């Protein structure tokens, strides 16, 4: 790649002086590579870089959606962790806009920011319990290096970003830019030399279900309140603990999940370090789009209603309970986005078949009316009835109270996770079918929608079906 011309870097330094604060320089190079996202993720854990250049000591980002492409990010140029204690995507929109205004050299369309928001604000301000330490209530960061690729495509784009400050000399700025290019070269070399086929051997482990009996009782109690007309729907979640005989590796989990769930968004995320202890890695394979924005077109999926994978489609489509649960989500999306998105004709629900379960899904498409970005659209919807309930505020209060009774803390499970360009296009997914890794195993998160007529014993079985997705990815045993 040709080095940055001194004249262009001089312009960037002049912009930093105008701002009286650091400005951003963004550079993109197109490379030919037959390697996929897993090879880039694997190489990012090993390849050189000194101090802040060492990718996985700061943060890691893996995102792959079957037929839509993939992204691997590493390192941190900027980050903002919101301290309000609220899971607010709208505030992230403001952060993105500020950072976009600071770009002095490079393309807004190539610079990616990543992050999202928890299901709900941390119960103690911005301090989670031990499991979610370092994640915050909502946060956004600009990776130092990002590789993006299309499925089965040979061309990969690699983008790096750095700051230049008003005090920088031209020589210092050009030298740092050259170092960034050298790190990209090392990363690309590592993709070819270090990438290996991930093993899919089974990993020994034991699954346990903390407080599952009490959780079933909470379902029955919630259904009684629904029958009394206090609520229309609530969603209760719980955890399945999987203790392994060896430390689980995120790259192996996402490799198995990618093969088992090719239509889902497979992700592995570790946010930037807060203090001395790095945050735990969240891995998952989520089928649910919260909001996607491409050139003014908004894509949203209503996903609710579940049946076993071997159930006939007609049984799910004809289930009164599942149709009512699904209708709540569709109506909610239309109500919340009525002033923001002009929707076209709605076709659905359809049956979305995964390897372990089937869902009812209604795709909604429309045009963004007046400005905004993917975070403003997602912020109007989060949290949806599919993961919270309806009416939202009453359901949220009930969910937090019920789950606190078993000491369960959702954190970013059922939160909003995704990416955006600095122009504002991007994709947010609901963080479902996911697990939080640690040295001894993982906490696997599952939930179920509760409406009038729900029964604890049946909802336990539904969550067990859902848990198979990540238990299979962790163990290598799809059964």
**233 in catalytic set:** yes
Crossing angle of helices 456-475 and 212-227, in 10° steps, is: 140
Residue 427 CA to residue 317 CA, distance in Å, equals 28
Neighbour count for residue 310 (Cβ, 10 Å): 7
- Report yes or no: 373 and 422 within 8 Å, Cβ to Cβ: no
Q: How many residues does the chain have?
A: 479
Outline where 384-429 has alpha helix (H).
Answer: 392-404
Active-site annotation holder among 288, 403, 459, 462:
288
- Residue 428: exposed, middle, or buried by beta-carbon count in 10 A (0-12, 13-18, 19+)? buried
Q: Which residues contact 169 (CB under 8 A, 6 or more apart)?
A: none
DSSP 228: T
Question: Residue 248 is encoded by which pair of tokens?
Answer: 């689980």
- For the chain, the first-to-last Cα distance in angstroms comes to 48
Active-site annotation holder among 232, 233, 358, 459:
233
Pairing of strands 155-164, 426-430: unpaired
DSSP string, 2-65: PPPPHHHHHHHHHHHHHHTS-EEEEEEEEEE----HHHHHHHHTTS---GGG-HHHH-EEEEEE
Residue 316 CA to residue 333 CA, distance in Å, equals 21
Q: Which residues pair with 162 in a beta bridge?
A: 25
**336 in catalytic set:** no
- As annotated, the active-site residues are 233, 288
């Amino acid at each position: 790649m040709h080095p940055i011309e001194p004249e262009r870097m001089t312009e960037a330094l002049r912009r930093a002086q105008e701002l009286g604060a650091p400005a951003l320089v963004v550079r993109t190079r197109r490379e030919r590579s037959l390697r996929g996202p897993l090879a880039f993720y694997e190489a990012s854990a090993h390849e050189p870089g000194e101090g802040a250049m060492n990718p996985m000591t700061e943060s890691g980002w893996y995102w792959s959606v079957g037929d839509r492409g993939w992204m691997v990010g590493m390192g941190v140029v900027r980050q903002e962790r919101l301290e309000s204690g609220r899971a607010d995507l709208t505030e992230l929109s403001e952060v993105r806009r500020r950072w976009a205004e600071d770009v002095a050299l490079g393309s807004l369309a190539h610079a990616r920011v990543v992050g999202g928001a928890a299901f709900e604000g941390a119960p103690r301000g911005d301090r989670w319990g031990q499991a979610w330490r370092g994640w915050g209530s909502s946060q956004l960061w600009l990776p130092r290096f990002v590789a993006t690729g299309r499925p089965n495509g040979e061309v990969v784009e690699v983008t790096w970003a750095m700051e230049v400050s008003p005090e920088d000399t031209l020589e210092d700025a050009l030298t740092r830019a050259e170092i960034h290019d050298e790190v990209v070269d090392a990363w690309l070399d590592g993709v070819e030399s270090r990438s290996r086929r991930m093993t899919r051997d089974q990993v020994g482990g034991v699954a346990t279900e903390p407080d599952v009996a009490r959780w079933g009782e909470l379902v029955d109690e919630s259904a009684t309140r629904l029958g009394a007309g206090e609520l229309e729907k609530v969603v209760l979640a719980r955890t399945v603990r999987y203790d392994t005989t060896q430390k689980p590796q995120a790259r192996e989990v996402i490799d198995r999940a990618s093969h088992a769930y090719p239509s889902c968004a497979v992700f592995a995320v570790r946010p930037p370090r807060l203090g001395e202890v790095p945050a735990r890695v969240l891995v998952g394979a989520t089928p649910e789009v919260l909001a996607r924005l491409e050139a003014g077109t908004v894509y949203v999926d209503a996903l609710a209603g579940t049946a076993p994978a071997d159930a006939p489609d007609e049984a799910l489509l004809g289930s009164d309970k599942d149709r009512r649960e699904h209708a709540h989500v569709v109506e909610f999306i239309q109500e919340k986005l009525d002033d923001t998105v002009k929707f076209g004709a709605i076709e659905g629900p359809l049956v979305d078949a995964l390897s372990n379960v089937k869902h009812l899904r209604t795709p909604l498409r429309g045009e963004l009316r007046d400005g905004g970005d993917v975070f403003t659209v997602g912020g109007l919807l989060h949290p949806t009835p599919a993961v919270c309930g309806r009416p939202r505020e009453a359901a949220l209060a009930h969910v937090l109270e019920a789950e606190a009774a078993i000491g369960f803390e959702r954190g970013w499970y059922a939160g909003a996770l995704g990416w955006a360009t600095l122009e504002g296009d991007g994709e947010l997914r609901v963080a479902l079918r996911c697990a939080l890794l640690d040295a001894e195993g993982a906490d696997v998160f599952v939930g179920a929608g509760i409406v009038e007529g729900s029964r604890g014993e049946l909802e336990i079985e539904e969550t067990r079906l859902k848990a198979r997705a990540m238990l299979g990815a962790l163990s290598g045993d799809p059964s």
